Chain A
Amino acid sequence: MAKAYDDIPGTIVFDSEQAARGYHLNQFCISLRLQANRDAYKADPEGYIDTFPMTPEQRTAALTEDWLGLLELGGNIYYTSKLAAFHGINFQELAGLMTGMGSTDYRAMMVSGGRSIDGNRYQSEWDENDDG
């Protein structure tokens, strides 16, 4: 079913459908909030991740740190940021990775006022830019 927010570009709304898809993935990510679990994941990544019944695609995305893929497969940023924290990546560095801009350029964009809303409201605005 089409949703009102489907046409917002570069955005995945974590709605009930995404939440259901990403449940075990998100529970894996959030488990890394605690030191004992961080230690267990560090000692044996595959052994630890296999205690969470996620899909093979989700498992690969987590192990390979595919930050956009994780969101598309049902992950939510507040959960995937715990996996990022495990790898020593903070929110701003994570945004640098997801946008493909890299930390330096992303930080510079934020310092100069952030990503403008103009041209970033509708998917059609992004598609036009691709054509151009």
Chain B
Amino acid sequence: MAKSYDYLFKLLLIGDSGVGKTCVLFRFSEDAFNSTFISTIGIDFKIRTIELDGKKIKLQIWDTAGQERFRTITTAYYRGAMGIMLVFDITNERSFENIKTWIRNIEEHAASDVEKMILGNKCDVVDKRQVSKEQAQQLAAEYGVKFSETSAKDGHNVEEAFMTLAKDIKAKMDRKQQENNNGGGSHSSPNVHVGSQGGKDKKANANRSFSWCTLL
């Protein structure tokens, strides 16, 4: 049977517990739903479909729920991951500080060319901000990754965050594909490794900001 999509990306959500989940609960505040049942079990992953440059992309998005307690995540979990969303809560400074720990963990266990993005989430309606946008932008620049800030008030923009990450993964894949094609041709250039460990000097264009509620 023909595939109904062009790309399939496995993405991970990583961050301290609670940084994104609380806002999800907002949508249950009218209380009609059996939220207790689903939230007691917990969500393993979600499949989402987006379109980029006319291509259909399936995203399989995994949450670390439960595992982050141990501050490290097993290698098995990282296996095959092509993109990682590093999430902190802008009203919780500790969760921001821990982003560095998470990045170290990723460098140890994940593929060296995995795309990363930092998201500052504001779950609370009341702004009790502890981490400034500038602080977060600076950290993102240090690691050469993109940064975005989100707010639970405007849930539909969650798609945009994943869109950005997916776009970067797709660009990297297409570039590699291009290199492989060129490699077989007559004017092959020396192998240039794109997007490997040396990602630190990548430019961080961190100025887009959007928001989401349904993190996972």
Query: Are A and B co-members of a single complex?
Result: no
